[in-house]
Amino acid sequence: MNAQDVLEDAQQRIRELGEDAGIRADVVEALLHPDALLETSLRVRMDDGSTRHFRGFRCRYNSTLGPAKGGVRFHPNVTRAEVQALALWMTVKCALVGLPFGGAKGGVEVQPKTLSPMELERLSRAYMRSMADFVGPDTDIPAPDVYTNAMVMGWMADEYEAIRRIKAPAVITGKPIALGGSQGREEATGRGAYLCIRELARRKRWQPDKLRVAIQGFGNAAYHVARLLQDDGYRIVAISDSKGGIYSDKGFNIDSLWQEKQKTRKVRAVYCEQSVCQLVKHDEISNDELLALDVDLLIPAALEGVIGPDNVDAVRAGTIVEVANGPIRTEAEKALCERGITIVPDVLANAGGVTVSYFEWVQNRSGYFWSLDRVRSELETFMKRAFEDTFRIADEEQRSLRNAAYVLALRRIGEALAAHGTKEYFQNGEFGHDS
């Protein structure tokens, strides 16, 4: 699925849900057009003395509810259309969770694994130099995304402050703790997904030790949700990365897999005792095979569009929790819902990251920093409330969870737009006065 298809898919979902839920036409129209989109060429000096140019993007999609918020990804497949789609999803996500943010996203078309650490720093700083007039603590606040991390955010924040000649830690979230980052930010996306699963388990009366889980992807978010689920007794029987996956019906020790992943950059079926690791019996599987496993819970935590018309019939999981952005295409989702498969949508399941980014922004602006326990407690409050609100609309209006999440977000954005005046208000020409 190419990026243009992803964008059109996201916009079509807005059109269909808006019409179905009776959302005002001006609200739907506002979410079909980004507020601003900047494309730039980043000039970077390489270690060998040569100069290369990289395409950079930043989309500020909608700022109705507050300054735009969204990550910056470094990936060879970054395109203008992909960035717009991701920014649209972020707009919906922030409205759903109740954050005072709009949606944004950014990226650089680059294969970061081919860059040296110093080249990566130069690229990060070049990106911020090109965006310094486009972002800001009250305008658009970037954060980490695919193949960016706390150190990259620290470089960007430092570059912004050098250009502006001020201290402005709130311009970037996901920074190192020493530079004003928040406790709990690294685990936030995975913990948010885990909290959704925990609420779902309570509603469905699951017995965790009876459930088998497969996770596509093994990045930071996937690791944390896997670790937390394993601590609750779930059996993680399959894990994969971009190169392929591993399967064992007996399950894996997640911390052992993560330890090996950090050392070798590979997903290997090992069990580790301190620094000594040994292989455990397993099957090697492809990502497509992982998606087709007969498991109770499937967690796509890699890239968008991995479940589509070509492979949807092979999916056998009873529940899917989207930790990745947009892993299920619209036409595939319809088929899954018809089969009674529960889907916890990305705009809810992976909202923990932007929620803790909001906490970091609040802490930076107040100059008062929270403990890890407070961050986790506040995150649980936000995620439980968003989950309950989504389920309530799903139950009351007989909608899927995704439809309910989007309807809730669209209504909140619609309320903010209506506060500026609606078509009906201006046609009636009425203006109330206090007596």
- Average pLDDT on 361-379 reads 97
> Residue 19 corresponds to which amino acid?
E
- Of 69, 93, 105, 175, which residue is the catalytic one? 105
Residue 433 has pLDDT above 60, yes or no: no
Cα 277 to Cα 256: distance, rounded to the nearest angstrom: 8
Confidence of residue 4 (pLDDT cuts 50, 70, 90): confident
As given in the structure block, the two tokens for residue 75 are 């990936």
H/E stretch holding 315 reads none
As given in the structure block, the two tokens for residue 221 are 């978010």
Residue 435 has pLDDT above 70, yes or no: no
Fold classification of 188-349 (topology level): Rossmann fold (3.40.50)
Angle (CA) 215 216 218, round 5°: 85
Mean model confidence pLDDT for the chain = 93
Ranges for all domains in the chain classified under CATH 3.40.50.720: 188-349
Give the range among 147-151, 364-368, 417-421 with minimum mean pLDDT: 417-421
Residue 430 has pLDDT above 70, yes or no: no
| Residue pLDDT, tens place only, 217-236 | 999 999 999 999 999 999 99
| Residue pLDDT, tens place only, 281-337 | 899 999 999 999 999 999 999 988 899 999 999 999 999 999 998 899 888 999 999
Architecture of domain 3-170: 3-Layer(aba) Sandwich (3.40)
pLDDT, residue 9, reads 81
- Asked about 384 being catalytic, the answer comes back as no
Query: Whole-model pTM?
Result: 0.92
- Average pLDDT on 162-191 reads 96
Ranges for all domains in the chain classified under CATH 3.40.50.10860: 3-170
Residue whose entry in the numeric block shows the structure tokens 């309910």: 404
Task: Please tell me whether residue 237 adopts helix, strand or coil conformation.
Answer: strand
Confidence of residue 265 (pLDDT cuts 50, 70, 90): confident
pLDDT, residue 19, reads 86
pLDDT above 70 covers a percentage of the chain that reads 98
Number of H helices, E strands in the chain: 15, 14
- Average pLDDT on 56-70 reads 96
Cα 198 to Cα 195: distance, rounded to the nearest angstrom: 5
- Average pLDDT on 106-117 reads 97
What does DSSP assign to residue 174? S
Residue 74 has pLDDT above 50, yes or no: yes
